Structure 1
Amino acid sequence: MLGIAKGSGMIEPNMATMLVYILTDAIIPENKIDELLSRSVSESFNSISVDTDTSTSDTVALMANNSIAVDLAEFSETLSELCLELAKSVLEDAEGAEHLIEVEISKCVSKQEAKKIGKSIVNSPLVKTAVYGGDPNWGRIVMAIGKTSDILLSKKDIIIYFGSHKIFESEKEIVENIGKIRLYLKQEKYIKIKIEMNTGELNHKVYGCDLTESYIEINSYYQT
């Protein structure tokens, strides 16, 4: 299986400036190929964002020459791993990006709601700049959760982590972890933020990147 992806800016799949082509020798029944690809794309390319902006060339294509018999369950797992690897590579190559951000929304009422909350966080300019600046600003994360429309929300039940360090619980800051989190943000290039909503049992991960001066320079100096 071979995958090729292009994209750096205007990335919010659902019509983004992104092109992905995946080639395989596997024998894939025609009535299964769309199902397999859609499942993998949902957890990868449709769960990333660089700058919330879209374009007209959003494409993920899976092409099989039907040469080699495979176990479809194993193929599906490998396809999902490849799609996620490529999706993260798009973010790592994003315009001006210095950090990749993974946001996991857990214990949520539905996967759809978890994805919506995660996208609100990863798309927030204030969250993105806080990560760039190494600031464990949980208030910006709570803000991004709070502005998400039509969700089940109980602020007293929200728990927030940066990496393995808890920063917010029972509506209070975990003061003793602030120094550890600042160090984590400054040392790591792959930043993990986890939010426990405690409204249900379902989880979803979304992925994004930080916002730097370079993104502004690239896009303000660009001439059409």
Structure 2
Amino acid sequence: MIEPNMATMLSYIFTDFTIEKKRLQSILTHAVNESFNSISVDGSESTSDTVVALSSNQIESEENDLAEFESAILEICQGLASDIVRNGEGTSHVMRIDISNYPGSDQEARMLGRSIANSALLKCAIAGNDPNTGRLASAIGSFLGRLEDAGTIESKTTNMIIKLGGRTIFKNGKFVLEGDDVENELSQHMIDAQLGEQDEYPKHQRCVEIGIDFGTSTKDDSGECGNVTVLGSDLTAEYVSVNADYRS
């Protein structure tokens, strides 16, 4: 059960840095949105979710120290969130979904990222090292179709570029795929990102890289433009086995 808000986890962060409670809460909220609330293993939310930051206020600080402190909190939260996905039940691939220039808020862009990460068909394809670009496009279209009419979808996706493993696979409203060599390249990207049997955890930090750029001219009426990163995992036979055999 790993899905925001937040995931099945209890996280406690301790610091001696002197900081006001409201400021610490604001920094933590931002970090959680960019980390624990930006991951999904199976789309199942939990009732046991907590992130707490506590300060002893033992070390004096100055205003110009806050930026470094905020960066450190974000780095800690993102590292822990990434480890949760890599340690997910049956996980053999981690997807990193970068969404940029989404014509809406970061929250809406994050919802799109989580919708892609939770697409069962896409997750299965990635588990099999199958670069099924149609399933990726379908996951994007399914999300937008639930929110918008056809005309609005077309206007939002006019400048959309989709990349897989750093290679452009969709541009100018159509797929950009040239033969078996491209398919083999994309499949190899997934193979390289696969988490095999290992004695040490984790063996590597590589991900199946998915990029979706809606173009710089696609801001919504409010002027907002969403830019987020979401982590997800594939769906393997081991995940099914673990949860089918589980007894409470």
Instruction: With the length of structure 2 as denominator, give the TM-score of the two structures.
Output: 0.82
Residue in 1 that maps onto 2:147 = 150
Residue in 1 that maps onto 2:239 = 215
Residue in 2 that maps onto 1:32 = 23
Distance in 1, matches of 2:18 and 2:116, equals 40
Q: CA shift at 1:16, angstroms?
A: 3.6
SS class of match (2:44): coil
Q: Does 1:159 align with 2:161?
A: yes
Q: Which runs of 5+ in 1 are unaligned?
A: 1-9
Residue in 1 that maps onto 2:109 = 114
Distance in 2, matches of 1:203 and 1:15, equals 19
Q: CA shift at 1:34, angstroms?
A: 0.8
* Contact 1:105–1:114 (Cα < 8 Å) also in 2: yes
Q: CA shift at 1:139, angstroms?
A: 1.2
Residue in 2 that maps onto 1:6 = none
Percent of aligned pairs with the same amino acid: 40
Give 2:227's match in structure 1, choosing from 199, 203, 207: 203
Distance in 2, matches of 1:116 and 1:150, equals 11
Distance in 1, matches of 2:99 and 2:4, equals 19
Q: CA shift at 1:173, angstroms?
A: 2.5
SS class of match (2:140): helix
Which shows bigger deviation, 170-179 or 137-146? Answer: 170-179
Question: Structure with the greater relative contact order (CA < 8 A, sep ≥ 6): 1 or 2?
Answer: 2
* Contact 2:109–2:228 (Cα < 8 Å) also in 1: yes
Residue in 1 that maps onto 2:203 = none
SS class of match (1:12): coil
Q: CA shift at 1:156, angstroms?
A: 4.4
Q: Does 1:79 align with 2:96?
A: no
Q: Which amino acid aligns with 2:228?
A: H
Distance in 2, matches of 1:158 and 1:138, equals 15
Distance in 2, matches of 1:56 and 1:15, equals 9
Which shows bigger deviation, 189-198 or 93-102? Answer: 189-198
SS class of match (1:60): strand
Give 2:211's match in structure 1, choosing from 179, 183, 194: 194
* Contact 1:160–1:169 (Cα < 8 Å) also in 2: yes
* Contact 1:102–1:191 (Cα < 8 Å) also in 2: yes
Higher Cα Rg: structure 1 or 2?
A: 2
